[in-house]
Amino acid sequence: MTELPAHVVTNPRLGTWVTVADGLVEVHVGKVELGQGILTALAQIAADALALPVERLRVVPAHTVHGPDQGSTSGSLSVFQAGPALRHVGAVVRALADPSSPGYVDRVGALDPDTDLTTAPTAGDVPAAAVGRSEPRLDLPDKVLGRPRYLSDLRPEGLLHGRVLRPPSPAARLRSLDPDWKATGVELVRDGSFLGVVGEREVDVDRALEQLARDALWDEEDTLPDETAVAEWLRAGPHETIEVLDEEPPEGALSASYSKPLLVHASIAPSAALARWEGDRLLVQTHSQGIHQLRAAIAGALDLDPTTVVVEHVENAGCYGHNAADDAAFDAVLLARAVPGRPVLLRWTRADELSWAPLSPAMTATVSASIRDGRISGWSYEVWSTGHTSRPGSRATPSLLAGAHLATPVPLPQPTDPPPARGGGTTRNAVPGYDVGPRRVVGHRRVDSPFRTSAMRALGAYFNVFAVESFMDELALAAGADPVELRLAHLSDPRAAHVVAEAARLSGWSEPVPDEVGRGLGYARYKDKGAYCAVVAEVAVTSSVDVRRLTVVADVGVVVNPDGARNQLEGGATQAVSWTTKERVRFDRRRITSTDWEQYPLLTFSEAPQVEVHLVDSSATSVGAGEAAQGPTAAAVANAVHRALGVRVRDLPLDAASVVRAIEQSE
């Protein structure tokens, strides 16, 4: 008997997945649209499973009451997890409703919603008609035409606007505020060090927020490390040690250390949420990646019965992991509690988004290896970081920012790492994907971080692939070997070798380039079990690092929507260029100081490279593309800089300061 999809086992009721309204089959999923096009891809899978054209379906946004609980939308797992579930649900519907005769949709609507999907009969597979086709994105027409679609566009009757004044630094506590404080057109909401304002007009709440910032007095203290010595701080501990492999390799003759700074999500629009209390019932609209976990966190923080909390997903600016969406939702809940019956639309400020949203951890690693007669004969890798997740639901505590500021605080937990079965965090992709002889791989997670770090696109894989692949080029140089040939000589997985060879071929690897230009390659299989991806970067190094062209080759198994997969790979590679060449959170001993776009620069449109994405034809299981290109791109850019400049830059970002420092250290 075929094993049931896990998400069907945990959501066994047919009506959780499929309903009918307005002559359309409504497909309910627990995965959310973050700009990655996932609802279009899942609509294609559902259409084939139900033997219907995509036009006869409506994919319903995730909802804690009217849809399945599929956990968080993360880890490039949506198609991998939701696809099998939708195929099973579709097979049940076809077996019960018979799509071969007229009135099929009506019969679907008449099915018993309590049908047990784990015991119901199923029909055989149907030929794929939508899967494998570049179906137009379902969400784009509204966005292109400017129709109200985003959370910030919501304008329900009786709407109030809200803002929250964050403390000036992570350790700050409110010392005093005039108990009779007032501002025009707003109501003050205060609970311990949590301060917010609610009003009819946005202009009033914005002005009141500025006034509140001037009038509130805070006690502060220095709790952050020296920004110039973060790698040393990470290595100093205390740590949780994560033993991944210890095959007792010989001591490596070659060794190098690499580092990455803290990063922030920096979405194009700040986080937002809408909340309304209706008696004992709480309604929340949010762009959270995990609405069921958020519901549990809100209920836990406020001692509510979770069944009285309803959470619905509404799109907002896309995210790249655990950003401030959950925190904004809790802010909105706290403000709305002060005005029962009225919906409150809460929006963060840009400065808060850049300084208070969860950060991607700083990391540092040391790698050593020996190479004899062109073969790597042993490998040792140690990596240090803070935890890569503090999502609601990842620990026993709610993990919502405002909870830590309440009069009766709900402290924020120390960030931890996902379990190894989900790819880990600090050690994600820390094991090289090559035949390198005996290996030792160890992670060290610092457990007393003052920074609130959490999941950001690819987690530790971005840095670990950068370090591993940079060192592969250093080994190639020591062996006098071409970097591509060295990799191919150590790859026994034919799918891995294919993407590396194709990336080299399509990029013109052996063709000459001007003196100031270099080509570099990076490769990885995401989480060691996901998409295979190789990237070749063409980079000019003059007064800055100018990434001109990226050639991306990926094997993601069966491609559901080729255009969507290419978009994900192109977007991931472009974002990685921004991380790799520009981005760094700045801070002093007390607070984060990079609170605007001048202090936290991003890659501009004119700086974006040409990106060519090539997808490998494959019949393997579909896996995600959204996190496959980041690490290989970073390594490709770093390796290209070395080939252009003759100097190895091991500390990210590869900006002018890092390049100059590397040159000075090499002299």
Quick one: residue 459, left, alpha or beta (phi over 0 = left, psi -120 to 50 = alpha)?
left
What is the residue whose two structure tokens read 């939308």? Answer: 73
Fill in the DSSP letter of residue 445. Answer: E
pLDDT at site 462:
98
pLDDT at site 397:
86
Residues 6+ apart with CB under 8 A from 433: 491, 493, 496, 523, 524, 525, 528
- Which H or E run includes 305? none
User: CA 111 to CA 441: how far, in whole Å?
Assistant: 53
Instruction: For 194, list phi and psi in degrees, rounded to 5.
Output: -85, 120
Helix (H, G, I), strand (E, B) or coil at 248: coil
> How far is residue 31 from each of residues 28, 62, 165, 646, measured CA to CA in Å?
9, 6, 32, 46
Fill in the DSSP letter of residue 617. Answer: P
Sheet arrangement for strand 439-446: 239-246, 439-446, 375-385, 363-372, 254-260
User: CA 199 to CA 132: how far, in whole Å?
Assistant: 49
For the chain, domains (ranges, CATH) are 6-136 (3.30.365.10), 152-220+265-356 (3.30.365.10), 363-388+424-666 (3.30.365.10)
Rg of the chain over Cα atoms, rounded to whole angstroms, equals 26
pLDDT at site 396:
80
User: CA 257 to CA 474: how far, in whole Å?
Assistant: 12
Closest CA to 400 of 488, 324, 484: 324
Closest CA to 258 of 665, 653, 601: 653
Mean per-residue pLDDT pooled into runs of 10, the chain (667 residues): 88 98 97 93 97 96 97 90 96 96 96 97 93 94 91 96 97 96 97 98 98 98 97 97 95 96 94 96 97 97 97 90 96 98 97 97 98 95 97 88 96 93 94 97 97 97 98 97 98 98 98 95 97 98 94 97 96 98 98 97 97 97 95 98 96 94 87
Q: Are strands 375-385 and 439-446 parallel, antiparallel or unpaired?
A: parallel
pLDDT at site 302:
96
pLDDT at site 543:
86
User: pTM to 2 decimals?
Assistant: 0.96
User: CA 466 to CA 638: how far, in whole Å?
Assistant: 8
Q: Is the dihedral of CA 405, 408, 410, 411 positive or negative?
A: positive
DSSP 499-549: HHHHHHHHHTTTS---TTEEEEEEEEEGGGTS-EEEEEEEEEESSSEEEEE
pLDDT at site 155:
96
Quick one: residue 358, left, alpha or beta (phi over 0 = left, psi -120 to 50 = alpha)?
beta
Return the beta strands (E) in 386-449 as ranges: 439-446
Closest CA to 318 of 29, 605, 32, 604: 32
- Which H or E run includes 18? strand 18-21
